A and B are shown apart, each in its own frame.
Chain A
Amino acid sequence: MAKLGLVVDLDTCVGCHGCATACKQWNTSGTIGPLSDSDPYGRDPSGAWLNRIRTYEVGDTPNSKTVNMPMSCMHCEDAACVTVCPTGASYKRKEDGIVLVDQDKCMGCNLCSWACPYGARELDPQQGTMKKCTLCVDRIYDERLPEEERKPACVITCPTKSRVFGDFDDPDSEVSKLVRERGGQQLMPELGYNPVNTYLPPRNKKAVEVYEVKPSLGKTVKQWVNKVIAR
């Protein structure tokens, strides 16, 4: 069976939030929708998002590196968010490993969000049901969409192509290759959730040779000789 998920490239993500809002706009009218907002025009606006971007600084002044880290549901293989759910609203699809919340069944107890280490579940403030990334299940299988658009909204929109969607069970898929080649890492593997989504760490600094030069050639233009070059 397939193991679908995302690879996120921390080497190229510029933290633009494009994927976060693409996700919000697709899913607010999608199978998990709506994604509601509270006080949208007031103080401390908030709402349900399925994908959020955080920015970290690694290292101290003056040797710091800034890293943007988008986080959405990792579609964990051992998803405790599913086992703790009392209603059966949360489930992991056997076919492809997508973890979903059935909006008709959720009672809004929050327990699954407590069980999720990655902050991937958010309670909808108006609906009272739990919202989470669907891996755009309502896009990826939709045959009415052109084949190249049968991808998650966040993947399609990412301007740095830092998000790749695919089957981690298929060793020849792009995601599997990227994970192999770039040393993909899971977040907090020690918790044993076996997250499917994988992060590609920033690459090492690119080294460039310098032009080999002899000690200074001279200080005034007077010493320079013209080359005969046709115009």
Chain B
Amino acid sequence: MHPAFSVLIFTVTSGAGYGLITLLVLAQLAGLPALQDRTLLLSGTGLALAMITVGLLSSTLHLANPKNAWRAFARFRTSWLSREAVFAVLFYPVALLYLFGIFRQGAELNGFFTVCGALAAGLAMVTLFSTSMIYASLRTIRQWCTPLTPLNYLALGLMSGALWLTALQALLQDKLSPALQGTALGLVLLGTVAKLIYLFWIGKPAGATIRTATGFTQASVRLLDAGHSAGTFLTDEFGYNVAADKLLRLRFAMLGLAFLLPFLLLWQGPALAMLLAALLCMAGLLMERWLFFAEARHVVRLYHGAPRT
């Protein structure tokens, strides 16, 4: 699949934003001492909202006809993209109320604002889940059509959110909260495991071949002519090809940036290192998302001559 930059930015930043706000609310509600701090809550929520907003704005860049974007709520009942849009929009009022609550009441939120926070956290996760289901529901792309996709999206969103939260906390409070550090380390481990399982899983040969796709299962099948000599929408969108050795190098870079380095920095722990960890992770996740697209092989490629997906 062709990785559209706007979609990469969107899923990575909004994922981190949703992860951040979810963890923040949970930690605050759970009474984690570090989170009973108005400044941290304000800046954390603000950052989350900013990331989510940047992400959503970026996502509209990928629309070829954005003037109809408002119609995206129409098919809530069947479309995960529509659901994502609806949840994303529903998220805003409660998240803003929560922000308002913190602004007015600091960490000591009344019931109403607490509920808003809980709702925001819930909607954040649901939105993130919806995003992941857009991909996971596509039977045409073997590499996406798996429960591993939502698992990865959720794990990586929470992981990057945790890194941001830890970084903010460390920066604002001078002293790193071991609980946050522990959570973040745990989530990085979870993310790593989820990603490794995913990579292992998509490496297994499976799925349709050019023979099954054309129905000529008795003999070898080769494409002689695609019916066009230059590219088309289909070849641009689905025919994205990257050399195998380049993919491998990128995978290692991605694992290092998104997981290994943040993990090490987090382990060590000076405040600035936390920020670095979060930033490196974001870069790593951009690569991860790029690979998520680049390694996804749509079945229509078979009709364009690919021997298998």
Known: A58-B216, A59-B219. A119 touches B234 (CB 8 A): yes
Number of residues of chain B lying within 8 A (CB) of chain A: 56
* Listed residue (B64, B226, B237) with the most chain A CB atoms within 10 angstroms of its CB: B64
Note all chain A residues with C-beta closer than 8 A to B220: 58-60
Q: Which residues of A contact B208 (CB under 8 A)?
A: 188, 190-191
CB-CB under 8 A for A117 and B228, given A54-B223, A191-B140: no
User: How far is A185 from B71 in the complex, measured between Cα atoms in Å?
Assistant: 37
Complexed CA–CA distance, A129 and B71 (Å): 13
- The verdict on B179 contacting chain A, using a C-beta distance below 8 Å, is no
Q: Does B203 contact A (CB under 8 A)?
A: no
Is B222 an interface position by the 8 A CB rule? yes
Give a binary string over B77-89; 1 marks a CB under 8 Å from any A CB, 0 the rest.
0111110010000
List chain B residues, Cβ under 8 A from A46.
Answer: 228, 230-233
> B172 at the A/B interface (Cβ < 8 Å)?
no
State whether the Cβ of B65 lies closer than 8 Å to any Cβ in chain A.
yes
Contact B134 A71 (CB under 8 A): no
Least distance between B142 CB and chain A CB atoms (Å): 11
Q: Which residues of B contact A44 (CB under 8 A)?
A: 230-231
Q: Are B140 and A185 in contact (CB under 8 A)?
A: no
State A48–B300 Cα separation when bound (angstroms). 16
Find residues 82-99 in chain B having any chain A CB closer than 8 Å to their own CB: 82, 85
Q: Which residues of B contact A52 (CB under 8 A)?
A: 226-228, 232
A190 touches B212 (CB 8 A): yes
* A187 in the interface (beta carbon within 8 A): yes
A15 to B137, CA, bound (A): 34
Q: Are A84 and B212 within 8 A (Cβ)?
A: no
A167 vs B67: C-alpha distance when bound (angstroms): 37
Q: Which of B75, B219, B303 contacts A86 (CB 8 A)?
A: B75
Name A's interface SS: loop
User: Is the C-beta of B297 less than 8 angstroms from some C-beta in chain A?
Assistant: no
Beta-carbon contact of B72 and A86 below 8 Å: yes
| Chain B positions within 8 Å of A199 at CB level | 215
Measured CB to CB, the closest approach of chain B to A21, in angstroms, equals 11
Q: Does A173 contact B (CB under 8 A)?
A: no
Name the B residues within 8 Å of A83 (CB-CB): 75, 78-79
- Please tell me if A33 contacts chain B, counting CB pairs below 8 Å: no
Q: How does the 8 Å CB contact mask read for B1-29 relative to A, with 1 for contact and 0 for none?
A: 10000000000000000000000000000
Please tell me which one of the listed residues B64, B80, B304 contacts residue A110 in the complex, with CB atoms under 8 A apart: B64
Q: Is the C-beta of B264 less than 8 angstroms from some C-beta in chain A?
A: no
**A22 at the A/B interface (Cβ < 8 Å)?**
no
- Nearest CB of chain B from residue A71's CB, rounded to whole Å: 7
- B81, B212, B225, B231: which contacts A188 (Cβ < 8 A)? B212
Tell me whether B57 is interfacial, beta carbon within 8 Å: no
Q: How far is the CA of A106 from the CA of B68 in the complex (A)?
A: 6
Whether B219 lies near A108 (C-beta < 8 A) is: no
B213 an interface residue at 8 Å Cβ cutoff? yes
Per-position contact with B for A37-66: 1 when CB-CB < 8 Å, else 0?
000000111101100111111111000001
10 tightest A-B CB contacts, nearest first: A108-B64, A128-B64, A44-B230, A86-B82, A128-B65, A108-B65, A107-B68, A87-B71, A88-B74, A119-B300
Q: Can you list 10 contacts pairing A with B, beta carbon distance less than 8 Å?
A: A57-B222, A67-B214, A86-B74, A108-B65, A114-B237, A114-B298, A118-B303, A188-B212, A191-B140, A193-B139
Q: Which residues on A are within 8 Å of B, measured CB to CB?
A: 15, 17, 20, 43-46, 48-49, 52-60, 66-67, 69, 71, 80, 82-89, 104-111, 113-119, 122-125, 127-129, 185, 187-188, 190-193, 199, 201
17 additional A-B residue pairs with CB within 8 Å, beyond A52-B232, A83-B78: A49-B232, A53-B227, A80-B138, A87-B68, A87-B82, A88-B74, A89-B71, A106-B68, A107-B72, A108-B64, A109-B62, A110-B62, A114-B1, A114-B138, A114-B237, A128-B64, A188-B212
